Amino acid sequence: MSTWNWAARMIAVPLSTAVAGSVVFLAPSLHAGNVPLDDALRVLPLFAIIGAVIGLIVGCPLVCLIDGMFERWRLRYLIFGAVGAVLGWLLMEGAFASGSWDAIWSSRTFWMTWAPKRILVFSIIGLMSGLLYMGLVSLIDHAIPRERW
């Protein structure tokens, strides 16, 4: 893979996670009418930044790993997008919780009440992110050849 193609793909990861995270977190509020559009647009950069940071921390290494190991799988970005989003959520949840071992990792309450809904939400974010990334990769491969001439 050419250096420019690889760099463009690494830029596409946080871009796709930022868009997917923003859409999933803002769409229900806008749909329910709880948040005016002006307020949602003010909060949009915050969701985009958080999504992009998670994409950089979890998504970029995961894309490098799956591109090398599962190159022949056509839907690899969708599958691992969902896995990466759930891992990113667990990383964020565990990083900022006080006493995270007791509060999260070994807590039955966390895994039985909190986790199921959040796993679904973050899986949707990951699937959307993977779908966006697949589209961006297609555009990148057309604009910047994968192989050097």
User: If DSSP codes are grouped into helix, strand and coil, which group holds residue 34?
Assistant: coil
- pLDDT score at 149: 53
Do the beta carbons of residue 127 and residue 3 sit within 8 Å? no
Q: Give 34-73 pLDDT, tens digit per residue.
A: 777 787 788 889 989 998 998 999 899 999 999 889 888 8
**pTM across the whole model:** 0.84
How would you label 45-65 residue by residue, b for 16+ Cβ within 10 Å and e otherwise?
eebbebbbbbbebbbbebbee
DSSP 144: S
- Tokens (6 digits) for 16: 């796709």
Compute the distance between CA of residue 81 and CA of residue 7 in angstroms, rounded to an integer: 19
What pLDDT does residue 132 have?
Answer: 96
- The answer to whether residue 124 scores a pLDDT higher than 60 is yes
